[in-house]
């Protein structure tokens, strides 16, 4: 379809006094001047053409309310655009525009202005004259600053300036009392101003991929906020005031330097998604178990004591592990223990154990304990080789999560023999040592204690232990029998319990 088809449609619109004209996708290089005949037009669609310039004659379409010139090759806007006094929506995204004329300020009825994906370096001062503007979109340009006049747009609801080169948010942003959506992601912003707390109607704040180091206390004043995205910044902590955001449904703080989740997170009664992957979090607060609307908890890439598979490692970016399985894995593994372990814990707590002489070597001792838990290097290495680097119960192949478990407890180097060991995922190792999980020596089937029934570990029951190819390294049957007998004895005596 060519210019000829466009002219035909224009003539028809003029003859029939049509109000709407669709010239989208006609491969036009220019807007035919015959367009001035369409004096009744209120909507003109010129999307998806190859138009390089807008003729001055456009100013004669005084009744135009909507003009869409998106996805063309336009490099400049004529001053005549200011004559379209009835214009409500002007869409010019995905062009090659470098600047906006001051005449834009004459469009006093304009409510929506879109200049996304162009080459604009600055927002003109004339924008401040558009008092009826509700939508302002300048995403994916080369803008370096937000002008002070933006504060005059008291009716603005959407301000979208993402993917630019903006370094700061001006204080006048606090004057936008009707603002609902503020999207400034992928810029170079280093801090959130205190005035952000004045945006009482804000529903969505997205400052992803900036250089922000902290969340200000005033964030707690945004009582209508539903979505907060501060991912991929340099934030180290979540402030207590976050608990005041009672309407928050989505909180994304992924890829920061956060070390803990505050208890006040439990006050977010409407939260559905909590996204914290790739931080430095080690614990999950108990209150998360009581958040009835929570559907997603993303903790992938954190040093929490949960297997990567349970967390959802390896799944696509939009997916994470099942919430209930994550919580069950964390809390059940942590809370299941033998009476003697409980007694030892109480002893330490009552004595208030403290050794000042060894404090300076704390880091070395912590490192040593990790090495000890994983098993002596040679013993662990032999097990990993024998079993192909996989846990024979869960098939986990993340070596850093696999530990060398003794079937008969360690009693010196003589028990560090491959036939007295299994390379188990860390959480399974704990359950194995607590006799909450064992292996039937006659069938090599996995068995679980009653305390694990109804938990995320229930599916382990009746799995077959994967044996090594070299039978010389297969588990010793006498060792398995002794572990299994201890397992049955403790199940029968009721020594296994939930704390």
DSSP-based three-state secondary structure for 335: helix
Between the alpha carbon of residue 477 and those of residues 28, 351, 434, 465, 468, the distances in Å are 81, 42, 20, 13, 14
Output b/e per residue, 384-405; b: 16+ Cβ within 10 A.
bebbeebbbbbebebeebbbbb
Q: Is the pTM of this model over 0.75?
A: no
Predicted pLDDT of residue 245: 96
Distance linking the first and last C-alpha atoms of the chain: 75
Predicted pLDDT of residue 366: 41
Predicted pLDDT of residue 333: 54
- Specify the domain boundaries for CATH 3.80.10.10 within the chain: 225-337
Given a contact cutoff of 8 angstroms between Cβ atoms, the answer to whether 433 and 405 are in contact is: yes
Give the span between the Cα atoms of 414 and 270, in whole angstroms: 56
Predicted pLDDT of residue 287: 92
DSSP-based three-state secondary structure for 329: helix
465: left (phi over 0), alpha (psi -120 to 50) or beta: beta
Looking at residue 310, what DSSP letter applies? H
Question: Of 35, 93, 92, 101, whose CA–CA distance to 64 is shortest?
Answer: 35
Return the minimum-mean-pLDDT range out of 70-74, 157-161, 176-180, 280-284: 280-284
Per the model's pLDDT, the better-predicted residue between 372 and 181 turns out to be 181
Predicted pLDDT of residue 283: 92
Predicted pLDDT of residue 324: 87
Work out the pLDDT band at 350, boundaries 50, 70, 90. Answer: low
Return the minimum-mean-pLDDT range out of 84-93, 240-249, 270-279, 426-435: 426-435
424: left (phi over 0), alpha (psi -120 to 50) or beta: beta
Residue 117 pLDDT > 80: yes
Work out the pLDDT band at 355, boundaries 50, 70, 90. Answer: very low
Give the span between the Cα atoms of 91 and 47, in whole angstroms: 9
Return the minimum-mean-pLDDT range out of 1-5, 89-93, 303-307: 1-5
Work out the pLDDT band at 448, boundaries 50, 70, 90. Answer: very high
Residue 496 pLDDT > 60: no
Average pLDDT of the residues in 315-330: 81
Reported as type and span, the H/E element at residue 252 is strand 250-252
Give the span between the Cα atoms of 475 and 495, in whole angstroms: 26
| Mean of all residue pLDDT scores within the chain | 88
Given a contact cutoff of 8 angstroms between Cβ atoms, the answer to whether 408 and 433 are in contact is: no
Sign of CA dihedral 406, 410, 412, 415: negative
User: C-alpha angle 389/390/391, rounded to 5°?
Assistant: 135
Given a contact cutoff of 8 angstroms between Cβ atoms, the answer to whether 264 and 284 are in contact is: no
User: C-alpha angle 33/37/40, rounded to 5°?
Assistant: 130
Give the span between the Cα atoms of 176 and 199, in whole angstroms: 7
pLDDT digit string, tens, across residues 208-218:
999 999 999 99
Question: Of 431, 309, 416, 306, whose CA–CA distance to 372 is shortest?
Answer: 416
Given a contact cutoff of 8 angstroms between Cβ atoms, the answer to whether 380 and 423 are in contact is: yes
CATH class, domain 225-337, is alpha beta
For residue 407, which phi and psi values (nearest 5 degrees)?
-75, -55
Given a contact cutoff of 8 angstroms between Cβ atoms, the answer to whether 14 and 38 are in contact is: yes
Given a contact cutoff of 8 angstroms between Cβ atoms, the answer to whether 31 and 9 are in contact is: no
Average pLDDT of the residues in 262-282: 95
Interaxial angle between packed helices 323-335 and 426-433, expressed in degrees from 0 to 180 and rounded to the nearest 10:
40
Question: Of 281, 233, 280, whose CA–CA distance to 253 is shortest?
Answer: 233
Per the model's pLDDT, the better-predicted residue between 415 and 175 turns out to be 175
Question: Of 393, 342, 347, 349, whose CA–CA distance to 496 is shortest?
Answer: 342
Q: Spell out the alpha helix ranges (H) of 44-203.
A: none
Predicted pLDDT of residue 50: 96
Return the minimum-mean-pLDDT range out of 69-83, 267-281, 318-332, 368-382: 368-382
Average pLDDT of the residues in 40-55: 95
Between the alpha carbon of residue 54 and those of residues 1, 5, 18, 59, 328, the distances in Å are 20, 19, 22, 10, 62
Predicted pLDDT of residue 72: 97
Sign of CA dihedral 480, 482, 483, 484: positive
């Amino acid at each position: 379809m060519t210019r000829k088809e466009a002219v035909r449609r224009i003539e028809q619109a003029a003859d029939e006094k049509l109000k709407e004209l669709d010239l989208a996708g006609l491969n036009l290089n220019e807007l035919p001047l015959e367009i001035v005949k369409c004096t009744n037009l209120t909507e003109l669609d010129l999307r998806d053409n190859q138009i390089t310039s807008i003729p001055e004659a456009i100013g004669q379409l005084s009744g135009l309310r909507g003009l869409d010139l998106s996805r063309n090759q336009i490099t400049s806007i004529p001053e005549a655009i200011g004559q379209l006094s009835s214009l409500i929506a002007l869409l010019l995204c995905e062009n090659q525009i470098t600047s906006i004329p001051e005449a834009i300020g004459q469009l006093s009825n304009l409510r929506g202005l879109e200049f996304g994906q162009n080459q604009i370096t600055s927002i003109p001062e004339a924008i401040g004259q558009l008092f009826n503007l509700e939508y302002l979109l300048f995403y994916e340009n080369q803008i370096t600053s937000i002008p002070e006049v933006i504060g005059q747009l008291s009716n603005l609801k959407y301000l979208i300036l993402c993917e630019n080169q903006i370094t700061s948010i001006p204080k006048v942003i606090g004057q936008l009392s009707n603002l609902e959506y503020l999207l400034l992601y992928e810029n170079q912003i280093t801090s959130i101003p205190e005035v952000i707390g004045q945006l009482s109607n804000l529903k969505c704040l997205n400052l992803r991929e900036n250089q922000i180091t902290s969340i200000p206390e005033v964030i707690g004043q945004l009582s209508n906020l539903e979505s907060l995205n501060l991912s991929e910044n340099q934030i180290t902590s979540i402030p207590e005031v976050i608990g005041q955001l009672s309407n928050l449904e989505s909180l994304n703080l992924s890829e920061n330097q956060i070390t803990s989740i505050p208890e006040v997170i439990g006050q977010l009664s409407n939260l559905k998604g909590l996204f914290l992957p790739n931080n430095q979090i080690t614990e999950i607060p108990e209150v998360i178990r009581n958040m009835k609307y929570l559907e997603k908890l993303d903790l992938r890439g954190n040093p929490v004591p949960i297997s990567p598979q349970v967390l959802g490692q390896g799944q696509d970016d939009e997916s994470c592990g099942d919430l209930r399985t994550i919580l069950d894995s964390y809390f059940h593994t942590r809370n299941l223990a033998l009476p003697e372990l409980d007694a030892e814990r109480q002893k330490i707590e009552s004595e208030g154990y403290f050794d000042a002489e060894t404090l300076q070597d704390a880091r070395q001792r912590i490192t040593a304990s990790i090495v000890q838990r994983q098993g002596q290097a040679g013993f662990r290495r032999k097990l990993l080789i024998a079993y192909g680097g996989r846990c024979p119960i869960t098939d986990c192949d993340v070596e850093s999560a696999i530990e060398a478990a003794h079937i008969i407890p360690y009693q010196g180097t003589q028990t560090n023999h491959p036939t007295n060991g299994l390379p188990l995922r860390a959480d399974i190792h704990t359950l194995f040592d607590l006799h909450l999980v064992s292996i039937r020596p006659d069938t090599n089937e996995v068995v679980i204690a009653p305390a694990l029934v109804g938990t995320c570990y229930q599916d382990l029951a009746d799995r077959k232990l994967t044996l090594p190819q070299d039978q010389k390294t297969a588990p010793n049957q006498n060792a398995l029998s002794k572990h299994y007998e201890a397992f049955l004895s403790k199940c029968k005596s009721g020594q296994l319990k939930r704390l």
